[in-house]
Amino acid sequence: MCQTQSEQINEIAKALAAAQAELEPAAKNAENPHLRNRYADLSAVYEAIRKVLPKHGLAVTQVMLPRDDGKAHVRTTLLHESGQWIAGECVMPCDKQGGIQGMGSA
């Protein structure tokens, strides 16, 4: 079983609570042409967190995990300067193209 957090999370929990108190919603700067709804794209989300997280000793990483199941596995980790961390994994089926292009599409 994959570990989802460091042994202790007291420091990261405190920092995350402080950061969340300061965060503003990401600006809805893009529009879905099919549904005609507005949403915050990845750059808007990054802009919303890029100054607040480091101020509290937090950082986010995402890595693709090697797997042989034909699915895209992405692990997101919230890191704290203390060395504590919390992580989660998202598994997405690739589209019909398969390979790298299929993972990118997922």
Number of residues in the chain: 106
Ramachandran bin of 10, using left for φ above 0, alpha for ψ from -120 to 50, beta for the remaining angles = alpha
Calculate the alpha carbon distances from 25 to 6, 28, 45, 100 in Å: 28, 9, 8, 32
Q: What pLDDT is recorded for position 100?
A: 59
pLDDT tens, position by position, 18-32: 999 999 999 999 999
Assign 64 a pLDDT band (cuts: 50, 70, 90).
confident
Place of tokens 């890595």: 63
Question: What's the predicted TM-score (pTM) here?
Answer: 0.79
pLDDT tens, position by position, 75-98: 999 999 999 999 999 888 776 666
Domain map (residue ranges) of the chain:
10-105
Q: What percent of the chain has pLDDT over 90?
A: 70
Residue type for position 53? L
